[in-house]
Amino acid sequence: MKKRIAVIGSGFSGLSAAAYAAKGGHEVHIFEKNSSLGGRARQFTTEKGYVFDMGPSWYWMPDIIDDFFRDFEKKTSDYYELISLDPQFEMVFTDGIMAVPKAYSDMRDLFEKTEKGASKKLDDFMRDAQYKYEVGMKDFVTKPCHSWFEFISPKIAKSALKLDLLSNFHHFVRKYFSDPKLIMLMEFPVIFLGAAPKDIPALYSLMNYGGYKLGTWYPMGGFYKVIEAMSEIAKEQGVQMHLNSNIDEIKIKKGKASSISFNGMEMDFDTVIASSDYHHTEEELIQEKYRNYNEDYWKKKTFAPSCLIYYLGFKEEIPDLKHHTLFFENNLELHTSEIYEDKKWPTKPLFYACCPSKTDKNVAPENCENVFLLMPVAIGIEDNEETRERYFLEMIERLEKHTGSSGLLSKIEYKRSYCISDFKEDYNAYQGNAYGLANTLNQTAVLKPSLRNKKVKNLFYTGQLTVPGPGVPPSIISGKIAATEAIKYLNYENTI
């Protein structure tokens, strides 16, 4: 029997959950508080024709994204063109630049040139990382994580030691490499997991395989093309979209979510999947007695960073700037300690520059440049325009030094900043976090916030604050898990 399911939020996890729930034969409605779909992956276009992706810009783990489309008998190529970047990205150090090539054979040469014997060590590292990727991304992260018993299977049990769940990434990388540049290169991907390398399980070397070995890609037209494709698939399944629809309350009767109120209206539902911020959903949308967790619980959690972002339109092309550039002239450990331990604005920041107009001429006017600057920062710290501007000027200065440019400030014809207060305003993000809950050992699998409300039978959560964790591919997987659990609940209800 067809039931009605509400999905709150239209980011990757929300669109994924909605598409799978509708494929299961149910009437599904997405409610999005903003004026466009996509959550953190929204896109905007300026009057002069600059097209900015607001969030994700690294297209890694293409096979995991392919899996979503395959489940609906589609291919990514039905919706957008993927370009393999070469180099994948550049890293800027105090004493030089390291360009990470597309071809693995060239990457081996780069490692050997940097550190004698490192090419063989890279082979060993990637062989181990591939195993973790195939087990971790195909089996480990697909569980709803209601209980540790879900992980009692011959394959996972056999893999337990090789998955390195109890060792940390910091020490793991140093088993293979000693050159500081190679160490920084290998540690960089786990920054997206929301904690310092010393607090991340070595399991997540799978990120290196999913990125470096499988390649860094770019969807022509911008990352929003993925959102458009997923929303198209959801609509093909019959999903109804409600934009500018801020949820006021999830109403609960007799231990079940019975309806949601939004924009002064109310609709009845048989199940609710919240892709909205988990903390916000519990604190603002349901009564205290129905919450899984109190405020003390959230305060003790390790969150991924927020970030300071600048969207910039330059009226001239910038020479010697690649699609992705990491400015790592300063100490990674210092920056991460100031994010996670000291929780203050960084004294010597690292930052990232994305220039998609180097690959895609349609995201900027002719002979112009589209640049996205991002600096990770601690959550919950004071955010004001004066502070933003101070770091902006430092990033521009370092960008000029790297590219040999001058007068970049005078060439900016579009400028917009985005930081902690904006994440709170637009996404109800807990303390302005940008990436969700960190994938530390104490916040892995069953130790993450529960996918299911323990007191409301038909209320489920999905997204970067629950399983499997932060990032685009994990969020897509999270939506599938939540939809599967919601459908199981509805099927069970139909039998009693």
- Tell me if 417 sits within 8 A of 309, measured CB to CB: yes
Confidence category of residue 156, pLDDT binned at 50, 70, 90: low
Residue 311 has pLDDT above 70, yes or no: yes
User: Residue range 321-327: average pLDDT?
Assistant: 98
Residue tagged 């409600």 (tokens): 242
User: Residue range 447-464: average pLDDT?
Assistant: 97
Span 205-218, pLDDT tens digits: 999 999 999 999 99
Rounded Cα gap, residues 235 and 71, in angstroms: 15
Span 248-300, pLDDT tens digits: 999 999 999 999 999 999 999 999 999 999 999 999 999 999 999 999 999 99
Determine the number of helices (DSSP H) and then strands (DSSP E) in the chain: 15, 19
Tally of residues, the chain: 496
Confidence category of residue 139, pLDDT binned at 50, 70, 90: confident
Q: Mind giving me the DSSP string for 63-127?
A: HHHHHHHHHTT--GGGT--EEE-SSSEEEEETTEEEEE-SSHHHHHHHHHHHSTTHHHHHHHHHH
Rounded Cα gap, residues 271 and 189, in angstroms: 36
- pLDDT for 113: 98
Q: Which of 131-145, 315-329, 348-362 has the lowest mean pLDDT?
A: 131-145
Helix (H, G, I), strand (E, B) or coil at 62: helix
**Crossing angle of helices 62-71/224-236, nearest 10°?**
20
The structure tokens listed for 17 are: 């959950």
- pLDDT for 160: 66
- When the pLDDT of each residue in the chain is averaged and rounded to a whole number, the result is 95
User: Residue range 458-476: average pLDDT?
Assistant: 96
- pLDDT for 157: 65
Residues in contact with 200: Cβ distance below 8 Å, sequence separation at least 6, in sequence order: 168, 169, 170, 190, 193, 438, 439, 440
Residue tagged 């607001």 (tokens): 54
Closest CA to 322 of 375, 246, 399: 399
Rounded Cα gap, residues 259 and 272, in angstroms: 8
